[in-house]
Structure 1
């Protein structure tokens, strides 16, 4: 019986815990694609990736992923022409603005801008469940 009572209190507490987890999910995605001035340059790609890794020092970034085109099947709808991409998650647009103005981001732009020829940004507000 004590086990059932303990389980009952766990289940009763779960909705509050679940709501807290859902409320803490990031609400904004910032996805950036970079095309290098020297496409195929492993040295330039490495410098850009190293610069992007430094952005992890900005506290408002909830999560940062850095990637390169995946070796997936070529299809007309897949654009694998970029060299490096970064995907960031923020709690809100205000935090994304803090990131944009942060000295670490500003340093990244000034120190790495000579590496890229083109940059495309997609900012997305996450639709709640």
Structure 2
């Protein structure tokens, strides 16, 4: 099966499965809400350049999940205000058309491989998910 056809099949199979078991099937409005997934990674050894490079490699691989509309990988900015948190190593923010697309991402083989192959590098992660009206442009 051609790679694009296989990917489309997996996406459609995931959508069909979610529609049959998800409470979202009864809430079509939520399919229209932009979903933002923002993760802050804290390395076990934040001063280890090799670990940092390895995690960055993994994040670039993770960005290939097809349901992601937009991704941003960042490091703490050089800003100084009392409300700014700067103790993380990387910020990973990605946008999805809706929560269903994000749920497909969570179970996608690339995401599962990322967790399996890179989780040993981080001490903790903080995840902030948000939804709201909007369009990805």
TM over 0.5: yes
Alpha-carbon distance, 1:43 to partner: 1.2
Please say if residues 52 and 66 of structure 1, whose CA atoms lie closer than 8 Å, have aligned partners that are also in contact.
yes
Alignment gaps of 5+ in structure 2: 1-31
Q: CA RMSD in A?
A: 1.7
Please say if residues 33 and 134 of structure 2, whose CA atoms lie closer than 8 Å, have aligned partners that are also in contact.
no
Q: Which residue of 1 aligns with 2:106?
A: 100
Closer/same/farther in 2, CA of residues 92 and 55 from structure 1, 3 Å limit:
same
Alpha-carbon distance, 1:126 to partner: 2.7
CA deviations 1:55-107 (Å, max 9, x no partner) are 122110001110110111x2210000101110000001111000000000000
Aligned length: 104
Q: TM-score, normalised by structure 1?
A: 0.76
Is 1:29 the equivalent of 2:39?
no
The structure that has the greater radius of gyration is 1
Please say if residues 76 and 90 of structure 2, whose CA atoms lie closer than 8 Å, have aligned partners that are also in contact.
yes
Alpha-carbon distance, 1:127 to partner: 3.9
SS of the residue corresponding to residue 68 of structure 2 reads coil
Please say if residues 26 and 62 of structure 1, whose CA atoms lie closer than 8 Å, have aligned partners that are also in contact.
no
SS of the residue corresponding to residue 35 of structure 1 reads strand
Is 1:126 the equivalent of 2:132?
yes
Q: TM-score, normalised by structure 2?
A: 0.71
Alignment gaps of 5+ in structure 1: 1-24
Q: 1:86 aligns with which of 64, 72, 92?
A: 92
Moved runs in structure 1, 4+ residues, more than 2 A?
126-129
Q: 2:61 aligns with which of 43, 51, 54?
A: 54
Is 1:69 the equivalent of 2:76?
yes
Q: Which residue of 2 aligns with 1:109?
A: 115
